[in-house]
Chain A
């Protein structure tokens, strides 16, 4: 029945085993179940210095307003793990095509440069997967659209996982070829379908 697919029966990672923000950042302020029992309402006693929202989340944010949450590997992972595989109705994350360990962010090398680099290594489900290039293209398009311009996006096939790795890496690394690929209507529609599941 699935003869037309390169890998009819891939291993699927259980959703609760996928990396999530919850895993990497132990919550400092744990919201207890008792908190809802004694809710705090915007107060009627509003002195001009303290607006009615004294207890609401907005002003509590303002204390943290200064802290910057840097873009990290998990954030990049969240951007691309929800891309659908072109031949299975599954996400790249659950198929293990992209993993947290294979995402690296290199901060600017010199203080004068602002350019960071994101490197994503892709692991095709089989070494002969003919759709590797499309998957790579999807990941690349997603990241170029979703990361600020100070990031350089480098998508490659993980060493030793695909027979066509060199070929594909060359294609993905070549700006001209990526741009040309995105002129191809049928390819664009495949990529858009893959990205349709992204939030």
Chain B
């Protein structure tokens, strides 16, 4: 059988096989074993089959497949021409297999470039003989043709353009050729190929038809079928269609009216598409064209902003208005003026009855337009500010003035944004009015009643903005602004409503960013005046100090702020100021280094800060052997040292360590001193890198700390600091390989500590050691053994030990990676996996006295675990947690609270787990809402959980309890605590909502 016969035989059954046959033919053709003429002749009986169109089509398909497999240069120019003629000749007489013909032509083109004449013949043949495209029912056929035309337009720009120029009739039939196409794959190509005539040809005469041919598809409502293999989204189509609409200025007379018409649509998505298209048009069309429609556009777009339907529509409309302004700025002055005149007029009208939604919207409009460029901003300022100020001065109403200031602030904000993006500022117009603005705002801040919060806040914001708008204010004006705000920060002592200090501090920090010198020269001295070396009895410089510390968030004045604080601390110390005051100054210094922006070198805080700020403090601590400082002050010193020392490299740390090791060793040995010094040493050791310290010294310190902890009386302050120190040393400094030996050497081996009847102190130390080990995660077996020893105590010991389990997972900022501790990524899971199954199993067999121990320990562990860790074990946890809610002692309140938090998460995420316990959960939650046996926080949390039930559980599961719950919640509405009442209202509303529209059920 010949190839064509084989092909025809296979093509419907096995596409791949048919392809192989065509490929074989192609390779024979290439190897000259088969002559082209013989191939064509072999097609003869099929391609001309009079009775069966499909055989004719498949024969062309064979030809197309063969050609597609041919490599370059396999056919001579003459052969290609002949083939081309042959295929085109067929189309004129027979439309069967037209898709395959198009494929064949694409393949032919791939074998060698066409000349102008061929291109034009191909194009004409298709447009003349296959018009309209929609007559072909198969998407693939149309797809091939569309691809061919796309190829012609993309590669042979000139040839196709001449075709259009030579023949008036060509364009109309070309445009109508694609009419009625619905398939998204074809449309994607058609939208793309139409861009060529739209942007490159002179289509003035056919603009409307051309535009309509694409706009008919607007808005695109296509929804891709589920698991669509082609992956074309509505957005792809929208993007291409939008490019077509915006392609040619000649479309404007049709585009804008129709788009604006569709802007009145009730569909939000249509409106979104319209706004996107308008923006594309504004960018795509000529400025001269935009000029003709600018006012029309404004008249339509403004409604979206003045009466906001959807916020994103307003935002897009604002963007459109700004784009228009930006486009018109590029041309002469006239068009921009013509556009802005009605805008300014309307905004001015809205200002007259400020503050309204409309005046607020005017502010947004003016901001958007001004931000488009200095030219537009200039015109806005000249058009609006005179009216604004005359209205401001003509009105006594504070509300009105506030509304006007808000609009002014919007305009100034635009200048700040412009300043950030465009260096060459044009600010004369704003400068001219800035003086008036500053005066008005300062007056508002100084003389308006303090209760007019929004008015004063608007003024404050305005001042900060004017100062930030680069170059707008003179030095004198910014100085006055800075003074006014400083004065508010320092001297307004209002509590409650009317207190705007927080905002004023923020404003001052913002100003410091723009005019650091003014703040440094004017504000900082004023602050210093308010901060005495030794405060008088009555005055409390706390708020001033807090404000001062916050200024350190601005990098440019950080060093000055920190230095002044240090000097103030030194003079306070030398003149014997009260401890509280010294401590506050140190706290302020700590604040600046923690939350401020100190200078950095190579990504870490500058080492010089340590030598300048922390080192002298350490020397003070070392030299004053008497320790006048109390331990709370020493803690702050420790923290300052910690924050400055810990990021530093080994070199500096070693120097510091060796410098201090002597005196610290002797201080630690002295029991009376050591306890007092504990907060300092804890933070100091926390800062050190483990490789810096000497192993012997560490054992010595550990031993000393253990001594302290074991001999501490329950009343001694700072004992918990010592315990944290033990956890730290165990975690960070001790080699995991020699852990047990080291612990034994330091007399804190857990097994030994817990033997016999352990003292409370010994138990505490044991917990501290285990905590350090568990977080480290390097001594698996030892940690497991110790934890089990602690768990075993639950059945014999009192509640004290159960309560201590909460401390195992309590977050501690000492044991952190920043402090160079070893923090295992999975320590929480590890503790959970060991402790929780043990406890849930043990509690079932436990007797009545030890049962509560397990509940307490269990929720102590659970309260610090992330939900994801507990999630998998929840089914086994629900029962013990429910019983936890039955605990009644006043010391168990926190245990109950943590159980409630877990129930809250469960109800939120996996309510099915508690569904079977609905009855007992609802009853217990209701019991937890009763005061005064339950604390306020427990009552509130129980109400929060209860409020989730109707939403998260199945309706039929909760409806039976509705009456009971609603009734019992009446009592909660009268709870003694306001926060509980608030929750009760929410909870009751949720339950009352259950019967909506379902009264019949009851």
Which residues from chain A sit less than 8 Å from chain B, CB to CB?
Answer: 1-2, 9, 11-12, 14-17, 19-20, 22-27, 32-34, 37-39, 41-49, 51-53, 56-58, 61-62, 65-69, 71, 75, 78-79, 145-150, 185, 188, 192, 195, 198-199
Contacts and interface: CB of A to CB of B under 8 A. Distances in A.
Given A26-B496, A44-B804, A47-B714, 20 more contacts: A14-B454, A33-B550, A34-B549, A37-B636, A38-B635, A44-B723, A44-B768, A52-B810, A52-B894, A57-B937, A58-B893, A61-B935, A65-B932, A66-B932, A145-B988, A147-B973, A148-B970, A148-B971, A148-B973, A149-B970
Interface stretch (B355-363, B615-623, B662-670, B904-912): B355-363
Contact of A9 (B356, B935, B938, B976): B356
Contacts of B319: none
A69 B976 contact: yes
A33 B454 contact: no
A149 B967 CA distance: 10
A68 B356 contact: no
B811 A146 contact: no
A45 B764 contact: yes
Interface string B706-729: 000000101000011001100000
A17 B496 CA distance: 12
A65 B939 CA distance: 12
Interface in B286-308: 303, 307
B812 A41 contact: yes
26 contacts: A9-B358, A12-B356, A12-B357, A14-B355, A23-B498, A25-B496, A26-B495, A27-B495, A27-B496, A34-B584, A34-B587, A37-B587, A37-B591, A38-B636, A44-B804, A45-B761, A45-B764, A47-B714, A51-B891, A52-B804, A52-B860, A56-B894, A58-B938, A65-B936, A69-B978, A198-B989
B568 to A, nearest CB: 15
Interface string B541-570: 010001001100000000000000000000
B996 interface: yes
B767 interface: yes
Nearest to A195: B989
Interface in B676-729: 712, 714, 719-720, 723-724
Contact of B542 (A32, A38, A79): A32
A75 B985 CA distance: 12
B639 interface: yes
Nearest to B984: A146
Interface size band for B:
35 or more
A84 to B, nearest CB: 15
Interface string B749-793: 000000000001100100110010000000000000000000000
* Chain A interface main SS type: loop
Interface string B879-905: 000000000001101100100000000
Q: Nearest 10 pairs between A and B by C-beta?
A: A23-B497, A148-B974, A43-B720, A14-B454, A26-B495, A48-B800, A148-B973, A44-B723, A68-B976, A34-B587
Contacts of B453: 14, 16-17
Contact of B496 (A23, A37, A146): A23
Nearest to B761: A45
B764 A46 contact: yes
B17 to A, nearest CB: 65
Given A33-B546, A61-B935, A146 B989 contact: yes
Nearest to B456: A16
Contacts of A17: 452-454
Nearest to B454: A14
B355 A12 contact: yes
B591 A14 contact: no
Nearest to A90: B357
B424 interface: no
A119 B751 CA distance: 69
B803 interface: yes
B897 A1 contact: no
B937 A58 contact: yes
A44 B976 CA distance: 33
Contact of B712 (A23, A39, A45, A53): A45
Interface string B571-607: 0000000000000100110110010000000000000
Interface string B949-977: 00000000000000000000011011011
A34 B981 contact: no
Interface in B892-946: 893-894, 897, 932, 935-938
Contacts of B764: 44-46
Contacts of B971: 148
B466 to A, nearest CB: 21
Nearest to A68: B976
Given A17-B454, A42-B810, A145-B988, A34 B591 contact: yes
Contacts of B970: 148-149
A38 B303 contact: no
Given A41-B812, A46-B807, A33 B549 contact: yes
Contact of B587 (A38, A44, A149, A150): A38
A24 B496 CA distance: 7
Contacts of A26: 495-496
B997 interface: yes
B798 interface: yes
A185 B981 contact: no
Contacts of A61: 935-937
A44 B807 contact: yes
Contact of A47 (B452, B495, B760, B767): B760
Contacts of A48: 760, 798-800
Nearest to A50: B714
Contacts of B402: 14
A52 B803 contact: yes
Interface in B620-657: 632, 635-636, 639
Contacts of B635: 38
Contacts of A45: 712, 714, 719-720, 723, 761, 764
A79 B937 contact: no
Nearest to B714: A47
B225 to A, nearest CB: 37
Contact of B996 (A1, A38, A49, A192): A192
A12 B800 CA distance: 58
Nearest to B799: A48
Given A38-B639, A71-B981, A44 B591 contact: no
Contacts of B185: none
A65 to B, nearest CB: 6
B992 interface: yes
A53 B860 CA distance: 11
B894 A51 contact: yes
A185 B932 CA distance: 40
Interface in B337-382: 355-358
Q: Which of A1, A146, A188 has the most CB of B within 10 A?
A: A146
A145 B989 contact: yes
Given A16-B454, A42-B807, A48-B800, A24 B497 contact: yes
A75 B981 contact: yes
A69 B977 contact: yes
A72 to B, nearest CB: 9
Contacts of B894: 51-53, 56, 58
Nearest to B709: A45
B591 A51 contact: no
A67 B975 CA distance: 11
A175 to B, nearest CB: 18
A199 B358 CA distance: 29
Contact of A51 (B803, B810, B932, B974): B803
Nearest to B546: A33
A146 B366 CA distance: 45
Contacts of B806: 42, 52
Nearest to B497: A23
Nearest to B768: A44
A145 B590 CA distance: 50
Contacts of A20: 497
B403 to A, nearest CB: 9
Contacts of A49: 714
